Chains A and B, each alone.
Chain A
Amino acid sequence: QKEVEQNSGPLSVPEGAIASLNCTYSDRGSQSFFWYRQYSGKSPELIMFIYSNGDKEDGRFTAQLNKASQYVSLLIRDSQPSDSATYLCAVRNAGGTSYGKLTFGQGTILTVHP
């Protein structure tokens, strides 16, 4: 079982729709969760982070965390063609020498078509 799993996609949504990206993780000790966006040939760009169960909203983006189910998601409202990218879910454990290290999923390719 992979430590962090995402559907590779591609996920295709029409412009203006809600895109829903999902991620599960295996380590119950995980404390912090991050979503990065990566355009082709570019570096990862931080979109959101979430530490506590529930929802966290920032503009068109909402991150949702359920630690009991070991599940984190990202919703993108009013999707735009410029949102087309690979979305990376990252998880950080706490404690010991692993503190700070991020474990990434394979990424979900999102395509928003006009």
Chain B
Amino acid sequence: NAGVMQNPRHLVRRRGQEARLRCSPMKGHSHVYWYRQLPEEGLKFMVYLQKENIIDESGMPKERFSAEFPKEGPSILRIQQVVRGDSAAYFCASSPRGSVQYFGPGTRLTVT
């Protein structure tokens, strides 16, 4: 049974470019969460989605960041016009029915 999958594992973008991070939840999981871990900081919640719905986006920056979880395909976290401060590890977690969350391997974003 495959775990949570994220790709790419490493992403390098120049300032001003767009970054797209993808997350495929574990089989049977319909709840997806995105977290960000800045260097030397803890994990911070960004957004919680179910299929075709954003349930809680209280942790998302107001500008440049968006997330979706379409009916078909992976969840996508999109960062437009990236800045150096966006460099971080982005983790996706999934759960069945909003209970225990299992994390994917993460995407390490580096903005140059």
Assess A101 versus B91: contact at CB under 8 Å? Given A43-B103, A46-B102, A88-B43.
no
Q: Complex Cα distance A11/B34, Å? A: 29
The chain A residues found within 8 Å of chain B, CB to CB, are 34, 36, 42-46, 49, 88, 90, 97-107
Which residue on A lies nearest to B45, using beta carbons? Answer: A101
**Category for how many chain B residues contact A:** 20 to 34
| Contact of B95 with A by CB under 8 A | yes
Instruction: Determine if B103 and A100 form an interchain contact, defined as CB atoms under 8 angstroms apart.
Output: no
Cβ contacts B66-82/A at 8 Å (1 or 0 each): 00000000000000000
| Contact of B104 with A by CB under 8 A | yes
Instruction: Determine if A107 and B42 form an interchain contact, defined as CB atoms under 8 angstroms apart.
Output: yes
Instruction: Determine if A101 and B33 form an interchain contact, defined as CB atoms under 8 angstroms apart.
Output: yes
Cβ contacts B40-81/A at 8 Å (1 or 0 each): 011111001000000110110000000000000000000000
